[in-house]
Structure 1
Amino acid sequence: MNDRVKHELLLAAEAPTMSSVELVDVINEDREPGSAELRHDNFMAKIEKHPGIQSPKFLGDYKDSRGRTYPCYYLPKRECELMVMSESLVVQTKVYDRLAALESGALPAPAPRHVGVDPALSAARRARAIKENTKTAELLCARFPGLGLPAQQTIFAKLVNQGAGEEVMPLPTIEKMISATEVGKLYGITKNAVGKIANAHGLKIAQYGEFMMDKSQTSDKQMPSFRYNPAGVAKIGELLGTQQHAPPQQHTLILQ
């Protein structure tokens, strides 16, 4: 275990937390009579899939009423609030009040717990998260077969790193690619005009750029769109009879 991980675990141990078991109890207390209760294992899976939570950092264990040890998560304030954001205001208030009381010392600190003390269990959950996110990356790439190799590598890197809770797969370094909007600004035309030129002359190929995932302008979804490399930008200018602009420098591609 490196010093950075040790430091993060120490901070996690010092900060007020609520266990995933406690959170499930609070959520179920507010359920309508007759409705299905939230299961702890399902709630843990939800934590592991949350894009804003690095779940391996908060993995621990607890003992049930019969003394048996089971895995759980001990979440700080931010992560607790993320997990109950979709719950009722009553649940959100209970969670907020409990964490505030722990911070102020109005409530006694919870019993000592073990965070990350079972390397085998932690490694198994980390491996499972990586495996599930890898499957998601494969599905995304299969859904959009026109994506270039660097774009596919970026999808895999982002999801695998999310599952691992740290960067284990570096993002690819590729040529600077720019959108049709940016190409249009260079030549004083609209992005639609750029698209028409590219379609008419068959420019949407690997020689002139790649399809990448971009945020849709009308929703939060990621949609494939063609990005132009320096050769593609120059080709558009050539077809327009415009002098070629200087090609951009290289950079590391980061998808939002």
Structure 2
Amino acid sequence: MTSKNVANVGSIVTEKTIDSQSLLAMVNEARKQCGEPEVRNNKFIEKVEDELDGEHYTKSVVQKSNKTSMVVIDMSIKQALRVAARESKAVRRSLVDKLENMQEAHIKSGKSATGLVEYRQARTLKMTVEAVTNLFDLMPNLAPEAKQTAAASIINPIVGFNAIPLPVIEQHYYTAGEVAEKLGVTANKIGRVANANNLKTEQYGKFFLDKSKHSDKQVEAFRYNDNGIEALRHIISGAAVA
């Protein structure tokens, strides 16, 4: 890390990079317009570091006029777009538009063909993030692991590296068909029993993305954990759920 006087920092935005203070100002302006509370620098830096974990960026400690210090991170516009994607839907839309316009302005001011390629990549990433977000809006019950897996499978090929890691799933989750085979009944009966007894909750499993049986659409499908299987076993055998 390097230290520098905050008076010399300012709001730095170049063709390829933006500093965290400039991005934070944009975030808080968008949050204010959307009626959301502002985020403090230390919390924002934690979010940036988490999003960019394992990637290259520049981190500095700067001295403020009140003798305290703060962390400033310089990142690429592409990285800033991913940080912006972690905001709420309304805030995110405002931010990605501003970042895209910022990149486009640099391209129009006579920057290189390489910059044009990066701009197009950033635009593609923006559109992909919006598509993934809209998909998740239609499927509010999806487990976090399912959302992370879906986002990784869609976004990682676009950016060309594992920007979003696959989640670590600590236990196995079973489809209705797998549970039916274990209990000697049909998958339809598993679904009916689960619905009738309100078993499609986090205690008994999670919702994952699955292909619809009747079309190519991706749909929410509940998968059962060991607790879910035991609960179904008790109900089907005539006993009460513990």
With the length of structure 1 as denominator, give the TM-score of the two structures: 0.46
Structure number with greater Rg is 1
- Larger RCO (CA under 8 A, 6+ residues apart): 1
